[in-house]
Amino acid sequence: MAVKKKKATVAKKAARAKAVGDDGAVRRIEEYAMGAAGSMGVPQFPAWITAYFHPYKAYGAEKGNANMGTSTVTLAMVGLVQAVVAIVVMALALSFALPALAGMPITVAGAIFMLIAYPIGSVIFGFIASLVYYIVAMVLGGKGSFWEQTYGMALVSGGIALLMAPFSVLQVIPAVGWIFSLAGLAIAIYGIVSQYRMIRAVHSLSQLRAIVVLLVPAILIMAFVLFVVGFATIAAIGAYGAGMAAQVN
């Protein structure tokens, strides 16, 4: 009975993985992205693209490689890709003399700092965020391990970073940049769906529970930000009131 149930679960996951690529437009985008990723000569990049479009398939293929080392390396590489994109974006912004970035010149030292800081920040933030996701998943009955989840979500994040890279650069172009910004937004939204699917694949959770796992960290971060902003506002009002009272006296 247990074997039949396991086979049924595997079949359902395979069906979901196939359904992701059934749309013709999405499939064409995936084929182009996979070709571009493969041409870069970095072995990890095709796995990132697969994870973005087919989280269930990627999890089945990569879960045996999930550990602290692969998770750390993947997150660091994601940060490195983001750093390179940020450097190119700021350099182009300066060449186009965009007011928003015109006051931030790119120096060699600044670029080196970004190439170091982004990967480190990506690893730290990735581990902290994954820990929050994992705690919530365990409370809701998740079955996967912490490293399976961290590695799986890091792979999807890599896919998002790669797919957004050209649009992040092109959005700097005056007048037409907003069009590429919309494309980047669409990629990010689809990436959220991919992360949701990866959570389901790793932890074998229901749709509702997987959504809760994905939303709780965002809600906690939002609540923390609101608390900090509210506290700072109250403190500022108090300081202003005290200053006015001192002037009156």
Structural domains counted in the chain: 1
Q: Quick one: DSSP state of residue 65? A: G
- For residue 15, tell me if it sits in a domain: yes
What residue numbers bound the domain in which 153 lies? Answer: 2-223
Q: How far apart are CA 95 and CA 93, in angstroms?
A: 5
Write the pLDDT tens digit of every residue in 33-76: 788 788 888 889 999 999 999 999 999 999 999 999 999 999 99
The answer to whether residue 245 is domain-embedded is: no
**Is residue 237 in a domain?**
no
Q: What is the pLDDT of residue 97?
A: 55
Whether 125 maps to a domain, the answer reads yes
pLDDT at 153: 95
pLDDT of residue 10: 43
d(CA 230, CA 98): 33
Residue ranges, the chain, pLDDT below 50: 2-3, 6-7, 10, 14, 17-22, 102
Residue 122 has a pLDDT of 94
H or E segment to which residue 39 belongs: helix 24-39
H-only helix segments in 140-206: 146-170, 177-203
